[in-house]
Each structure stands twice: as structure tokens, then as C-alpha cells.
Structure 1
């Protein structure tokens, strides 16, 4: 989606003037950000730029110092992650956050915990079809999986909640190149199916290749934003984040 297309509709997520502090340290400063339905948007920047902090503030894991986060036109002030999952706003955290002492299948069912519809079984099978390795090990404890398998499980669990907006925090971190390709393939496929995605990713080149638009964070502030192909060709971005 282009900026002009985005501007023609209502934002699914709108962040205005976001400030988040850890003690006396300002981690995010004056951040404005919009996501429109069906977009895949990336947040890129160096370590410590405020990317993960931004996601945590959006999904209620951190209380902003000031600013506003609106989702589907309504303020999220005072709501926790459990409230937002029920509204279709779901995060896959850095480090996966799986339940290590539960089986793969039990982890997946936790993703559907708030659902009361009749499609949970078919959606579970769709996740297993997407990640056949999980199907083969469905009764295995999640803590015994490899890093890549755990990332598959974390994403599968999130998909079973039927997200409208999926926040992904460093999904490729620590994975083999083959597994990275698989995870990004899934991210792209999920976006094509109409789920809006906000992707935080250290691999800036891959993130910009996938995204429709992107924001570049530096020391908690947005220093650049625009269509991802434009940022991919931007000399400043190339020098700072793409190794050019």
C-alpha cells in the first residue's frame, strides 16, 4: 500500500506523541506511527533504538509516559495485553515466550483460549499444515524444541488467536539462514491473507524487502519513514543499516 492509499482510509493503529521512559532514560520520544488495514510495516534501527519498547507500549506491556495509542479508532489507555488479544491485537515477543513445560499442541490451544467459535480445530490443522514439523512433534514438550521450531510455535499460537494486527518482535533472531527464510515466508504469507503486520527486525534489508512501508528509529525517535522500496535505496539507510 502506498502512502497515498494509506492516507485515503482510516488507520487500524495510530500512535501519537508516544513517550516511554525507563527510570530517567527516555527510550521512545515523540513517536508518531500509523498502520492501515492490510499493510506490512517494518520498524528498523540499531540496538537500543526503541523498537521493542514501542511494541510493548502498543500492546500494553509498558505504560507510556505520555502520548496516545488508538486501535480501531479507540484509545487503548488502561488496557492490558489480555484485553487486546480479544480485540485482535496480538504480539509475538522477542524470545518467543512459549510455555516450555507444555506440549506443542497445548501451546497452540492457548492461542485459541479466548475463542468460542467452531473453527478452532480447523484453524489448528491449518497451523500444522503451515508448520509440518510441529505436527510431527505435537505431543513433545515445547522446551525441547530448537530455536526455529519454537519460533514456529510462537507464530502458530498467535495465528490461532485470529489476529487483525500482528506485532512481531525480532522473529529471525538466532535462527539459521534456512529457518530465517521460512519465517519470513510465513510473515509474507500472513500479510497477503489480510492480517496487518508491524515487524521489528534487526535484519533491516530483509525487513525492507518484505514491507510496504517502514519507520527508521534512532535513539527513540523516528528519523525517516516512507515506502519501504524508497528506504531500501536511501543512501543514509544503506550506510547506517544495510552495510553499504
Structure 2
């Protein structure tokens, strides 16, 4: 579904991502892990059409990316950005409706109920301004809003950042549930242990380059990954 070939991203002459290759196949949950500044978010933003890249190629369903986020959204790619990016002055319900703004089908109400089943807490707050919610609740709204577009590929950027351990558990349970229902997911996450536990495959990004890749179950056992990211 997604292929990234020799991607390079620079900021003011500084190379942030240096010729990486990665792939996400239909139905997979793939994680991209690494430390702060490794280039994870830059990679995800380039894939989503949020920033430009210097060279390389991004293919989504075998079609080269236009680099325009609105076109990628129309083709079935949705991003849950780092920091959530919700509409704080809109209600929870209005945020979810915005996620479905490009849809023309008659099943939006059905999907709203599905989102509420994933995240019962935001159903209780559906009429509340999103900006008044806790960080964890805002993350739930951001994920539900992205899912309301019925994406073929869901991009998640640091969904557990800044959350309490209990809410981290909730978020990862929902991600795993969505993946088991057939959603294709690319997950960027600093919590390497939790990401690898629910992923099919993973890539380790270090200083803008892929240093290790493989099945998630193998990476958990890899001493290099354990020493650097799993606290072993």
C-alpha cells in the first residue's frame, strides 16, 4: 500500500532524513521507532504531504505521491498528528463531523456510533468544546476524527505522548483493535516497547537512517533494540 524509496528531507541544509526505504503492506501495522530527532516525524509528515522532500519517491497504492495533503486525504490517507491538532473551539461532535467532511455517503451517523464504541469517554463529552478536554481525551478525538474519513491508511504520530500510563493503555488497546479490524497503520512512537508489542513489523530510525528492520517480535528480542529503546 505504501512504499518509500530513498527519501531525503532537509531543513536549511541539514539532512534530517537520509535516503530511507520503508514499506507498509495492506492490513499491516508497522512501527517506526527511534529517539528524539531521529527523523520519525519528518518522515511521517512527508508521507502525509505536510512537508516537501528533496529527493526520493513515495508511492501510495502504487501511485506517486503528489505531496499535497488534501489529495492524499481524498485518496484514503489520514494523519493523526503529533500534538493532536484538534479544533479546540469546536465541540467533540463537530470535530468528528469535520473528519467526514469529504464523504458523500449516508453512513456518517453509523461511523459516529462506531467511534463512540471505540472511545466511550468522548461520547459522554460530545457536546463539550474539544479544547476543554484532557490531553488523553483530545488524543481520542484526534484519532476518531481521522477514522471518520474512512481511511485506507492511518498514520499515527506519537499517540501516547504526554499521556498517563492508564490512558496509554487505552490508546494502544484501541490501535490494536483497529488494526485487527483490518486497518493498515503506520505508527511513529517513542514508546518502543508498546509499539513493538502490537506491530507486525518495525523499522528503527537513527540519525535519519534505517538501522534495523524486521518482524516486531524479532526486534523485541534484538539486543541492540533492547539496549537502546527497551531499557534493557
Please give the TM-score of this superposition, normalised by the length of structure 1.
Answer: 0.94
Give the corresponding residue for 2:134: 146
Match of 1:108, SS state, is helix
Q: CA deviation at 1:200?
A: 0.6
Decide which of 208, 212, 217 is 2:196's aligned counterpart. Answer: 208
* In 2, Cα distance between equivalents of 1:131 and 1:242: 28
Q: Which residue of 2 aligns with 1:127?
A: 115
Question: 1:31 & 1:158 partners in 2: Cα distance?
Answer: 26
- Structure 2 match to 1:188: 176
Q: Report deviation, 1:102.
A: 0.4
What is the 5 A alignment of 1:216-227?
216-227=204-215
How large is the Cα RMSD of the aligned pairs? 0.7
Is 1:64 aligned with 2:50?
no
SS, match of residue 95 in structure 2: helix
Deviations 1:170-223, CA, capped at 9 Å, x for gaps: 000011111000000010011111110000111001111111000000000000
2:79 corresponds in structure 1 to 91
Equivalent position of 1:110 in the other structure: 98
Which secondary structure does the structure 2 equivalent of 1:41 belong to? strand
> Per the alignment, in what secondary structure is the counterpart of residue 97 of structure 2?
helix
- Are 2:49 and 1:55 equivalent residues in the alignment? no
Q: Distance in 2 between matches of 1:231 and 1:131?
A: 30
Q: Deviations over 1:38-71 (max 9, x none)?
A: 0000000110000000000001111110000000
Residue of 225, 228, 232 corresponding to 1:240: 228
Distance 2:69 2:51 in 1: 10
Choose from 60, 78, 81 the match for 2:69.
81
Where structure 2 has 5 or more consecutive residues not aligned to the other structure, the ranges are: none
1:28 deviates by 0.3
Q: How many residues align?
A: 232
**How far apart are the structure 1 equivalents of 2:118 and 2:22?**
31
- Give the Cα–Cα distance (whole angstroms) in 2 for the partners of residues 48 and 242 of structure 1: 18
Gaps of 5+ in 1: 1-11
- The two structures have a TM-score, normalised by structure 2, of 0.99
Give the SS at the match of 2:3. strand
Query: 2:176 and 2:166 mapped to 1: Cα distance?
Result: 16
Give 2:143's aligned residue: 155
Q: Which ranges of 4 or more aligned residues in structure 1 deviate by more than 6 Å?
A: none
**Counterpart check, 1:33 vs 2:7:** no
